[in-house]
Each structure stands twice: as structure tokens, then as C-alpha cells.
Amino acid sequence: MAEHFFPHDTRQDLQKLRSLKPDLYKAFHDFSQAVFKDGALSSKTKHLIAIGVAHVTQCPWCISAHTRLAKSMGSTDEEIAEAIFVAMEMRAGAAYTHGSIAIEAAAQADQC
């Protein structure tokens, strides 16, 4: 589980964070609940998207939580793997295209 990635139990920290600004936490929680409801996309599809995004943002808690939720909604291991491979391509593609920034900077440095 995601808890193994960090040396301490974060639940107390998150409870304190919630208690410091309960109105903002409630707004965030309500927003999260609304986002994952069935709409133009099914809740299952939204959780598969979240799995991919969580891999790009590298959030172990999100990876774990959305994978469990996707499985509970009938997602297959193959669907989850495919979502991860989409995330891999997007991350690698971004590294490739951002390479143009380095190439441009190197060319500008050569002109100085």
C-alpha cells in the first residue's frame, strides 16, 4: 500500500490539515465526489483516467485508491495496465517535446 512509501503515518497530519480549514476541506471533498459521479463518462472510466494521471503526478496514495476503486467498479487488470501505459506515453512524450526547449537554449548559448 501507499503507506509504505513514507516513514510515518500521514493520517494524523491529514486530519490536522482538515481541522485547520474544515470549510475548504469540505469544498474539496464535495468537488471530488461530484467529479467521480457518472456523467458523460462513467465513474469507472474516470477512475481509469485517474490511475493514469496519478502515475504522471506520481502520487502513490492516488494510484492505490483509484486502482482499488476502479477494480470495485469492474475494471480489469488489462484496463488498468492500459491506463498506465497511456500515462507512460504521455510522460515520455512530454519529455521528448520539452527537449526542444533544451535544444533551443543550447543554440542560444552557442550564439553568445
pLDDT tens, residue by residue, 58-102: 999 999 999 999 999 999 999 999 999 999 999 999 999 999 999
**Which CATH fold topology does 38-112 show?**
AhpD-like (1.20.1290)
DSSP state string for 36-91? TSSSSS-HHHHHHHHHHHHHHHT-HHHHHHHHHHHHHTT--HHHHHHHHHHHHHHH
Q: Do the beta carbons of residue 66 and residue 50 sit within 8 Å? A: yes
Contacts of 5 (CB under 8 A, 6+ apart): 60
pTM of the model: 0.83
pLDDT tens, residue by residue, 6-19: 666 788 889 999 99
pLDDT tens, residue by residue, 31-41: 999 999 999 99
